[in-house]
Amino acid sequence: MFCKHCRIKLPDGAGFCTGCGAKIETRPTAPRLASPVYCGELNNKRHKNGMGALMLLVSILLILLGIGHMALAVAGPLRV
C-alpha cells in the first residue's frame, strides 16, 4: 500500500503515513467467498443416471412383452 499524497510505501495496516503524516483511509475488505456449487450440476448428474435406469427398465419390459407375444403366436390360440 502506498500513501496517495507522497507515494511512500506503507506497512500493512498503517493508520498514518510515515513520510507526510497524512491519515490513511483503509477500505474494509469484504471476506472472499468460496466459489459457489451449483445444484443444477449435481441434479443434472442424478437426472442422467435416473434416465439411464428408466431406459433400461423400459427396454427390458418391451423385450419381455415381445417374447411373450411371439410365444403366443407360435402356440396358437388357447382352447378352453
20 falls within a domain = yes
Total number of domains constituting the chain: 1
80 falls within a domain = no
Q: Which of 8-12, 31-35, 56-60 is predicted with the least confidence, judged by mean pLDDT?
A: 31-35
Q: Annotate 5-41 with b (16+ C-beta within 10 A) or e (fewer).
A: eeeeeeeeeeeebeeeeeeeeeeeeeeeeeeeeeeee
45 falls within a domain = no
42 falls within a domain = no
**Does the structure show a pLDDT above 80 at 61?**
yes
Domain interval for residue 14: 1-25
64 falls within a domain = no
5 falls within a domain = yes
59 falls within a domain = no
Residue 59: band (very low, low, confident or very high) from pLDDT cuts 50, 70, 90: very high
